[in-house]
């Protein structure tokens, strides 16, 4: 069976206020062309379809269009909700549209309800594990504690139990939206730390033939059978050097797996450039950046007058402007200090900064509880 693995569309998301809907539409056209050209049997989308729980209407229209196109091609779609999606909104009418080959898995109750598709070699069971907020679902899945590791382990136990009851020789695919230990992150992913830990071990997915992951925006492999497709577009300048792609997975009769990385279309190259304003405006060496989406850092000793307006005359796709005088980097210094740190680590660091003494274990525990409560409350609002 040939599977096209993609994720993290984030329909409706801009890049530094630059609308990306046209670029997202171009990607989805590319996806449909790939489905036809490469004779794809099923499309697997591993969450974060939309960028917000209540997406803008033009993003909803784009989503509706691609579902209709896939249904017209009679190519099944298996899709899960991610941490940016509203499970209830995305999953509305899911049982009804299954008749059109659109299989949405957005609730914890559906984790062990497979989509069973067949090819000339027999059945393939697709299990959809949507993003599972530990504080909300740990009791439903009978997890030992409200952590990502415990919740996903319990969900996978249910998957393996159902798979054991399937006909002999049934191959298996799991879609999941999670941060697996060892994978590389980007700046544009929302922190999902729960219980002080954002990630899960790859071992929780043992016993299945392929795991199609979403959440992290870099296309990468955790192992031969566990992969992230990444986002189809760059959603931060930290992804400027990440080639965007989808995985084309062939699952043979004996579950042998081959994978091919398929590049996604690039609407504009993202580049980060630094220099003095006058050099940037006049030097021929910067001509190659004139059609790129840019983050420019100016190194002038004093902040130039109307710098962004002047830069856009030569570089119309300048999206972000920073200033660095050599003494300190204005506008970027705080971001640089907290880059790669979790919300809990940032809060603990802030407490140390304002009190002058390191946080005690008790204080760190209270901060963790507070962050968990806020995250759980926000998740409840999105669900309802």
Q: Are 70 and 102 in contact (CB under 8 A)?
A: yes
Q: Answer yes or no: do 239 and 283 share one domain.
A: no
Mark which of 237, 263, 289 sits at the end of a domain: 263
* Domain annotation covers residue 336: no
Cα-Cα-Cα-Cα dihedral of 208, 214, 219, 221, to 10°? -20
d(CA 335, CA 346): 11
The mean pLDDT value for 79-99 works out to 91
Cα-Cα-Cα-Cα dihedral of 104, 157, 226, 236, to 10°? 60
Give strand ranges (E) for the chain. Answer: 2-6, 42-46, 77-80, 102-105, 115-119, 122-129, 171-177, 179-180, 199-200, 210-214, 220-223, 226-228, 245-251, 257-263, 270-275, 293-298, 318-324, 329-330
Q: Answer yes or no: do 249 and 226 share one domain.
A: yes
Q: Which residues, 6+ apart, have CB-to-CB distance to 57 below 8 Å? A: none
Q: Answer yes or no: do 188 and 217 share one domain.
A: yes
d(CA 249, CA 34): 13
Q: Answer yes or no: do 100 and 45 share one domain.
A: yes
Residue 339 has pLDDT above 70, yes or no: no
Q: Answer yes or no: do 281 and 194 share one domain.
A: no
Q: Which residues, 6+ apart, have CB-to-CB distance to 104 below 8 Å? A: 79, 80, 81, 90, 91, 94, 97, 128
d(CA 314, CA 263): 29
Using CA atoms, how far residue 10 sits from 25, 345, 374, in Å, is: 12, 27, 23
Residue 330 confidence (pLDDT): 47
- Which range has the worst mean pLDDT, 12-21, 134-143, 366-375? 366-375
Q: Are 193 and 371 in contact (CB under 8 A)?
A: yes
- Which range has the worst mean pLDDT, 123-127, 213-217, 328-332? 328-332
**Helices within 240-356 (DSSP H only):** 277-282, 307-314, 333-338, 343-355
Q: What is the pTM of this model?
A: 0.84
d(CA 225, CA 339): 30
The percent helix, strand, coil of the chain (3-state, each to 5) is 35, 25, 40
Q: Answer yes or no: do 12 and 141 share one domain.
A: yes
Quickly list DSSP for 164-213.
Answer: HTSPTT-EEEEEEE-EETTPPP-TTSPP--BTTB-EE-GGGGTT-SEEEE
Q: Answer yes or no: do 212 and 302 share one domain.
A: no
Mark which of 245, 263, 281 sits at the end of a domain: 263
pLDDT tens, position by position, 158-171: 999 999 999 999 99
The mean pLDDT value for 121-133 works out to 96
Q: Answer yes or no: do 150 and 218 share one domain.
A: yes
* Domain annotation covers residue 232: yes
What range does the domain containing 293 cover?
270-329
Mark which of 218, 246, 263 sits at the end of a domain: 263
Number of domains the chain is built from = 3
The mean pLDDT value for 363-372 works out to 76
Instruction: Provide the β-strand partners of residue 321.
Output: 296
Q: Answer yes or no: do 192 and 101 share one domain.
A: yes
Taking only Cα atoms into account, the Rg of the chain, rounded to an integer number of angstroms, comes to: 23
Q: Answer yes or no: do 49 and 188 share one domain.
A: yes
CATH of the domain at 84: 3.60.21.10
Q: Answer yes or no: do 256 and 308 share one domain.
A: no
pLDDT tens, position by position, 196-236: 667 899 999 999 999 999 999 999 999 999 999 999 999 99
Q: Answer yes or no: do 59 and 167 share one domain.
A: yes
């Amino acid at each position: 069976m040939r599977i096209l693995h993609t994720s993290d569309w984030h329909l409706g998301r801009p890049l530094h206020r630059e609308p990306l809907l046209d670029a997202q539409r171009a990607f989805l056209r590319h996806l449909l062309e790939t489905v036809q050209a490469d004779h794809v049997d099923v499309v697997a989308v591993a969450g974060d379809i939309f960028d917000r729980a209540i997406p803008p209407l033009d993003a909803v229209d784009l989503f509706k269009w691609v579902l209709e196109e896939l249904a017209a091609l009679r190519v099944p779609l298996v899709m899960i909700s991610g941490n940016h999606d509203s499970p209830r909104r995305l999953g509305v009418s899911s049982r009804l549209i299954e008749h059109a080959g659109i299989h949405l898995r957005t609730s914890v109750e559906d984790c062990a309800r497979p989509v069973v598709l067949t090819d000339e070699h027999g059945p393939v069971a697709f299990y959809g594990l949507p993003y599972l907020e530990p504080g909300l679902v740990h009791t439903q899945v009978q997890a030992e504690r409200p952590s990502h590791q415990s919740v996903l382990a319990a969900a996978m136990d249910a998957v393996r139990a159902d798979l054991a009851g399937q006909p002999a020789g049934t191959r298996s695919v799991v879609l999941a939206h999670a941060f697996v230990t060892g994978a590389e992150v980007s700046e544009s992913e929302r922190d999902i730390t729960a219980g002080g830990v954002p990630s899960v071990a790859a071992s929780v997915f043992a016993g299945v033939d392929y795991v199609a992951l979403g959440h992290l925006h870099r296309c990468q492999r955790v192992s031969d059978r566990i992969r992230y497709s990444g986002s189809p577009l760059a959603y931060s300048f930290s992804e400027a050097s990440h080639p965007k792609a989808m995985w084309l997975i062939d699952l043979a009769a004996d579950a042998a797996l081959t994978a091919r990385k398929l590049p996604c279309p690039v609407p504009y190259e993202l580049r980060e450039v630094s220099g003095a304003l006058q050099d940037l405006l006049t030097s021929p060496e910067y001509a190659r950046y004139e059609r790129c989406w840019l983050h420019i850092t100016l190194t002038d000793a004093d902040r130039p007058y109307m710098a962004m307006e002047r830069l856009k005359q030569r570089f119309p796709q300048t999206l972000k402007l920073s200033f660095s005088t050599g003494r300190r980097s204005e506008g970027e210094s705080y971001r640089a200090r907290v880059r790669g740190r979790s919300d809990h680590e940032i809060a603990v660091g802030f407490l140390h900064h304002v009190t002058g003494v390191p946080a005690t274990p008790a204080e760190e525990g209270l901060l963790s509880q507070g962050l968990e409560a806020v995250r759980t409350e926000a998740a409840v609002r999105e669900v309802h």
